[in-house]
Structure 1
């Protein structure tokens, strides 16, 4: 929609009806194919063939064997869920070599369509609402596999890291690859003894697996989007502790880090527990059972908010301590992980919010108020800067991770805070995190919530900042009485993002 989107919808439907429609959070009708065939996409406007129609997955059980020496991965993935329509055929998203498939214990036919669609034909059709258990046995060398023209699998000097956005699961497990279909996970990884295998959630234990190998067992009980599942294998030092609430804190640092890198990384990622406590005071209770981080000896070019265990590329700790990247990725635990996007066009709800968390942290530590950071960023980008040529509320797939989504997106939140005041603004953030906890959210839902809690028509504000191009006038920021700007912004904040260039170079 454009113009006064929320106002027009409220007029047509009424607030109660809009709330019901938006809260449903269901995939669009396009995700359901007829004739018993599940659609090859879940209905995302940016990625039409990502995710699948006809079923939902509630749990992934991954039993993996990885050999770092030759980058060989073998696995059995058991997906438990239910059919949402009558199914004679359905797809999974996957790029490695499939060896065998069963559906509800019976062998199923399988074939590849394109480079990441695995088409399954069960021996017996599935009926609407029927429980389904899909078991896929597979193998491959992930670093040699390309899909959509790139690989998201990162080979390191002594292992590998599986972490990327919006797609990574294709290279290590079959899935319904879209945030609309979140599930719990059990991830068991067998590696040569002496190596560590790090993943999400709670470490349920390690045990000898025979032939000089060890099995690492990880459990994430809260719903998790497929791209947020992480795997890092190599030689890592694990720093384990508990936070003030007794939750496990697991930080993994590659043993190959230089002395300076290790110093800066530990000083930064070591703040995770205190950062989570501070963010909880703003956003509401931390939504997960564990926390921590992973720092591989690899310049990934980005950091990623993997659920409970963000991955930080070595780039962030090249020359200094960097608390802002830790603030950013852990803000995502609320905005992106617990509350995931409904469609990828809603990415502002992830990156604008995590970016603004950095500005709030600057304010918290006395380095510069969020308003001063917003104004400094605004002034640093002239009217002809590309920042103003992308709409953060609908940037398009090619610009999903552009500066506009992060920086202008954060400015949008500062503008909202200016208009509604601190008490209402932080009430909106907490209500958003609570209302959509472990689910999905869309920009129209957030706009509606902000209008309901503030009692204001905010359509012009959201149109200006999210759905218009061109640099807004500086007067859109509401300066304190007298026009004085709070203490100046820090010299620089972390640039926590995939860039367009990085995405184009995949």
Structure 2
């Protein structure tokens, strides 16, 4: 997701200061009504009324039984509602608890069996107040006064507009089939491979799409407008990748001249650093939207105005952020980190946002140089607040803080410590191979990096992910000795750090007790490597 702007920082802090509610647990916990069944496939049929904020449809949920159970939880947020549920062609009853529908199947299901339910739903979905951060349905008019509709619901949950098992840990293993029925003057753009359009007697048309890969529920999208599609291809690491640039009809020329080049540059870079684009079967599509952007899998939402920067700004204040299109790079980076590798709980959202923010750094390095990339990374540190741990509380649908910039700086420091870009790249590719098309937790990611780097990085992960304290490197020079230790950190924190003594490079291995380095002579200038997100103080040391 695009980085939330400063306007939302205060409101986010207020929300996180409130006690957790029953709703938080219903959304965030893999409870007994969810844990006994595994979603295999969604078949989603959507009928939006484009002239009003009304939507109806059906969703067939195919599932596998993991353990015996007879009541399952399906989520649907008000003012939307579930009208009826069919199981083996018979209507089911349910108990509704807030947005959770606890549906009775009236018999205990047998482990390893496969089954399905059909859900009918309708209502007026919540309208987005400030998409994509405060999401829902975005109903707008294009420059010609015509309907332009979209959806964004990360964090809020896909159940804001269609019924599903709204928990990040369970993606439909076999994908999704989506149909959208709208007036024939409009186009409907969704995820995955476009199949065909069926004409209906009432002069409406039904658009058919198929997603073959697992997908986050919040990534499933709907875009309606007067769109045209520009087709293209990219010869990548798994062969020919189908590309589509879907824009409003009057922006066709802009897209032809601008987006093609930017998308292919991104793909070249990210396939080098992360491995093959994860969803060749579904293709890569970028869709013009009225809001800034969103990582909708295989249908990236784009509203950056066909221009470099972040809506015309440089988030690093270095000038480097104006050299490339932030939305194309950042949101596409999520195809690897967020969509391919997906956190099972939003508490671990740093996996999505930290690695994806670091993809911006790698993109700059790939097309410019390391100095520019490092300068950009240091520039975005100004957005770090250190008011919350990066890892949030589990089981209550709540993320931590500073997942973007602090997460990227953590990854960058680990890269410095590994001190071998070939190994670092193998780790990034290996993460996508090992955890691709799966849901994971932070511990799994941490242990993989530790194993592949052969370095004990656990104290570093604990310090930066599970604490708000930024370590301070306390230095003092005594004649030909350099004394040093870590302060403002966990008691067991230790992290090697590169320093320059009269421009000569040294690697220190500070701990929370004083250590020393013998120098050839008294130094005139001592600097810590600015690639490390730490503070440096020169003072009298005490054990």
Determine which of 208, 212, 225 is the counterpart of 1:221.
Answer: 212
In the alignment, is residue 117 of structure 1 matched against residue 103 of structure 2?
A: no
Whichever structure has more strand as a proportion of its residues is 2
CA offset at residue 356 of structure 1? 0.4
CA offset at residue 399 of structure 1? 7.5
CA offset at residue 487 of structure 1? 13
> Quick one: structure 1 residues 57 and 266, their matched pair in 2 at CA, closer, same or farther if it must change by over 3 Å?
farther
Gaps of 5+ in 1: 1-38, 489-506
CA offset at residue 288 of structure 1? 0.1
Determine which of 264, 278, 293 is the counterpart of 2:286.
Answer: 293
> Quick one: structure 1 residues 179 and 144, their matched pair in 2 at CA, closer, same or farther if it must change by over 3 Å?
closer
- Which range moved further: 458-467 or 203-212? 458-467
Match of 1:458 in 2: 457
Gaps of 5+ in 2: 1-24, 142-146, 313-321, 475-495, 506-526, 532-543
> Quick one: structure 1 residues 187 and 399, their matched pair in 2 at CA, closer, same or farther if it must change by over 3 Å?
closer
CA offset at residue 110 of structure 1? 3.0
> Quick one: structure 1 residues 485 and 201, their matched pair in 2 at CA, closer, same or farther if it must change by over 3 Å?
farther
| Greater length-normalized contact order (CA 8 Å, ≥ 6 residues apart) | 1
> Quick one: structure 1 residues 486 and 473, their matched pair in 2 at CA, closer, same or farther if it must change by over 3 Å?
closer
Instruction: Say if 2:293 and 2:303, in contact at 8 Å, map to a contact too.
Output: yes
Instruction: Say if 1:352 and 1:405, in contact at 8 Å, map to a contact too.
Output: yes
- Map residues 189-208 of structure 1 onto 2, 5 A cutoff: 189-208=180-199
Determine which of 371, 379, 383 is the counterpart of 1:376.
Answer: 379
Q: What is the distance in 1 between the residues matched to 2:128 and 2:386?
A: 37
What is the aligned length?
430
TM-score by length of 1: 0.77
> Quick one: structure 1 residues 271 and 159, their matched pair in 2 at CA, closer, same or farther if it must change by over 3 Å?
same
Q: What is the distance in 2 between the residues matched to 1:137 and 1:172?
A: 12
Q: What is the distance in 1 between the residues matched to 2:360 and 2:186?
A: 34
Q: What is the distance in 1 between the residues matched to 2:473 and 2:209?
A: 49
CA offset at residue 226 of structure 1? 0.8
- Map residues 46-65 of structure 1 onto 2, 5 A cutoff: 52-65=34-47
- Which range moved further: 310-319 or 431-440? 310-319
Match of 1:173 in 2: 162
In the TM superposition, what whole-angstrom CA distance separates every residue of 1:68-103 from its partner, at most 9, and x where no partner exists? Answer: 111321211111012223222211011322222111
Determine which of 289, 293, 297 is the counterpart of 1:303.
Answer: 293
CA offset at residue 263 of structure 1? 3.9
Determine which of 108, 114, 123 is the counterpart of 1:131.
Answer: 114
> Quick one: structure 1 residues 145 and 345, their matched pair in 2 at CA, closer, same or farther if it must change by over 3 Å?
closer
> Quick one: structure 1 residues 151 and 388, their matched pair in 2 at CA, closer, same or farther if it must change by over 3 Å?
closer
> Quick one: structure 1 residues 229 and 474, their matched pair in 2 at CA, closer, same or farther if it must change by over 3 Å?
farther
CA offset at residue 266 of structure 1? 6.8
CA offset at residue 413 of structure 1? 0.6
CA offset at residue 230 of structure 1? 0.9
> Quick one: structure 1 residues 198 and 264, their matched pair in 2 at CA, closer, same or farther if it must change by over 3 Å?
closer
Match of 1:7 in 2: none
Q: What is the distance in 1 between the residues matched to 2:61 and 2:457?
A: 43
- Map residues 12-51 of structure 1 onto 2, 5 A cutoff: 43=29
Higher Cα Rg: structure 1 or 2? 2
- Map residues 421-500 of structure 1 onto 2, 5 A cutoff: 421=419, 422-473=421-472, 478=498, 482=504
Match of 2:137 in 1: 153
Q: What is the distance in 1 between the residues matched to 2:205 and 2:128?
A: 26
Q: What is the distance in 1 between the residues matched to 2:263 and 2:223?
A: 19
> Quick one: structure 1 residues 85 and 171, their matched pair in 2 at CA, closer, same or farther if it must change by over 3 Å?
same
Whichever structure has more helix as a proportion of its residues is 1
Q: What is the distance in 1 between the residues matched to 2:226 and 2:499?
A: 51
- Map residues 277-426 of structure 1 onto 2, 5 A cutoff: 277-289=268-280, 290-296=283-289, 298=290, 300=291, 302-314=292-304, 318-319=311-312, 322-366=324-368, 368-378=371-381, 380=382, 387-394=385-392, 400=399, 402=401, 404-421=402-419, 422-426=421-425
Instruction: Say if 1:72 and 1:140, in contact at 8 Å, map to a contact too.
Output: yes
Q: What is the distance in 1 between the residues matched to 2:387 and 2:256?
A: 35
Alpha-carbon RMSD: 3.2
> Quick one: structure 1 residues 398 and 346, their matched pair in 2 at CA, closer, same or farther if it must change by over 3 Å?
closer
Instruction: Say if 1:106 and 1:122, in contact at 8 Å, map to a contact too.
Output: no
Instruction: Say if 2:354 and 2:405, in contact at 8 Å, map to a contact too.
Output: yes
Match of 2:477 in 1: none
CA offset at residue 255 of structure 1? 4.3
Match of 2:63 in 1: 81
In the alignment, is residue 242 of structure 1 matched against residue 210 of structure 2?
A: no
Q: What is the distance in 1 between the residues matched to 2:443 and 2:530?
A: 34
Instruction: Say if 1:153 and 1:168, in contact at 8 Å, map to a contact too.
Output: no
Instruction: Say if 2:27 and 2:167, in contact at 8 Å, map to a contact too.
Output: no
CA offset at residue 335 of structure 1? 0.8
